[in-house]
Structure 1
Amino acid sequence: MAPTTNRSRPRISAKGQQFATVVVGKHQDKFIVHEPLLIHYSDFFRAALTNGMKETEEKTVTLAKDNPKVFEIFVHWLYYQRFPNKAHHDDQELVNRYKDPDVLIALYVFGDQYQARQLRNAALSALFYHTLKSDFYLPYESSIRFAYRRLPTDSPLCRLLVDFYCQYAGPEYYRILNDGYPVQFLLAVASRYAELRIWDAEEDLALASYLEPET
């Protein structure tokens, strides 16, 4: 299966459009989405909806373990190619839900699990800019544990979380512990601190260092 590329967006205004049903979460919330959008932006959905198996025939995909609130923001992004924004008069509940670093981390993880590279880059970019503008607090240990459970430790998001803590975290972030930070995360932070000390460097973070290349 060829990966999704930067080909033109589907023409969803054309007549005779195909739709797919995505059933999300333990309560089986149903989302009706243009099939071409799902196929265009996610290799997972492309495979599920075109491989000739049960999902292809029924045009239904079930994501039993995913969060419907996160999936709804993914659907918003599919259609608008941006996240909810008050300036665009988007629904206020969606705007409030999006303005949370935990949600952006969940969106990135969703994009990793379902092979949606452009969503990963969009979520990471939003987390980067909102954090640098001080719109967001730094992600706490619960979100970092979630990211480290679901992603490779050398993933762009995990690297960004390490750099965020090296650059911006004060002592209070290490005092507010529930179940604690992942050991791999603390080791990465310590290693990064050592690099900065040896180089006597104070680097400004650059978004391009974390984005995945276009294919």
Structure 2
Amino acid sequence: MNEKRHEDHLDGRSIEVVVGSSPSVTFSVHENLICSSSDFFKKAVQGGWKESKDRVVRLKSDDPEVFSVYLHWLYYRTLPVRIDEPGVAGNAEYMQLANAFILGDMLQDGDFQDAAMDAMMDKTASKAADGRRWYPVGPVIRLVYEKTLESSKARLFLVDMYTFHGQVDWLTEWAIHEDLPKDFLLDVAASLLEHRPQPLSYYLTPGSCRYHQHEPELSACYKNVPALRPKHE
């Protein structure tokens, strides 16, 4: 949205959006602005729904903090989420962005979803305050797989991340089993099989000891013990 068009949408009336419950938070937003970006609000406010008369939209099951991120983006075209924290704090940043993406899906605002995805990609590509790159683990994966459809680009992002950048400890040390949905593990396995390099022929070559129980030394193999050596016709 260009600057002039954005300013035009700041004219006119405002609506109230009541987000969450126990307690809820009420936000005021320009009708033209939010309806120009969100198909959900366009239908709710301008489509003859009850909300179009009351000029109040209620989002009881949503998080006021996440909605405030959406409003900030709506007005300023930036996301008020840091992307430079390492470790657990860094994963919390991914959680914020994943929640933003999921809210964008509900609000039918593809541009906001794209902005959230770009922020996640920027975070993976940039070094955190400790000089290292940190990637989404555990709870972020569970959230995305619980709240999105199979075709979600957020799922694709996670699968690509684990396929091309993943380390063993992401699964063994940085996540608990409950945070690794079966569908995610299947998606990663399929992606790894699709993109793997050609396997080393040694692994599946007849005569290889790779799958034997003995110690790595070839001398420990039963085939190298004369009395146990297999006899061939």
TM-score of the two chains, using structure 1 as the length reference: 0.77
Hey, what does 2:178 align to over in structure 1? 179
Q: CA deviation at 1:52?
A: 2.1
Q: For 1:188 and 1:13, locate their aligned partners in 2 and report how far apart those are by CA, in whole Å.
A: 43
Q: CA deviation at 1:79?
A: 0.1
Q: What secondary structure is seen at the aligned counterpart in 2 of 1:9?
A: helix
Unpaired segments ≥5 residues, structure 1: 1-6, 87-95, 201-215
Q: CA deviation at 1:112?
A: 0.8
Larger radius of gyration: 2
Q: What secondary structure is seen at the aligned counterpart in 2 of 1:100?
A: helix
Q: For 1:82 and 1:145, locate their aligned partners in 2 and report how far apart those are by CA, in whole Å.
A: 26
Hey, what does 1:195 align to over in structure 2? 194
Residue identity matched to 2:194? E
Moved over 3 A (4+): 7-10
Q: For 1:179 and 1:85, locate their aligned partners in 2 and report how far apart those are by CA, in whole Å.
A: 27
1:90-129 equivalent positions in 2, closer than 5 A: 100-129=93-122
Work out whether 1:168 is the aligned partner of 2:165: yes
TM-score of the two chains, using structure 2 as the length reference: 0.72
Question: Comparing both chains, which one has the higher relative contact order based on Cα–Cα distances under 8 Å and sequence gaps of 6 or more?
Answer: 1
How many pairs align?
183
Cα root mean square deviation, aligned: 2.5
Q: CA deviation at 1:113?
A: 1.2
How many percent of aligned residue pairs carry the same amino acid?
30
Work out whether 1:11 is the aligned partner of 2:8: yes
Q: For 1:19 and 1:160, locate their aligned partners in 2 and report how far apart those are by CA, in whole Å.
A: 36
Q: CA deviation at 1:10?
A: 5.4
Contact kept in structure 2, 1:108 and 1:120, CA below 8 Å: yes
Contact kept in structure 2, 1:111 and 1:120, CA below 8 Å: yes
Work out whether 1:134 is the aligned partner of 2:131: no
Contact kept in structure 2, 1:9 and 1:40, CA below 8 Å: no
Residue identity matched to 2:190? S
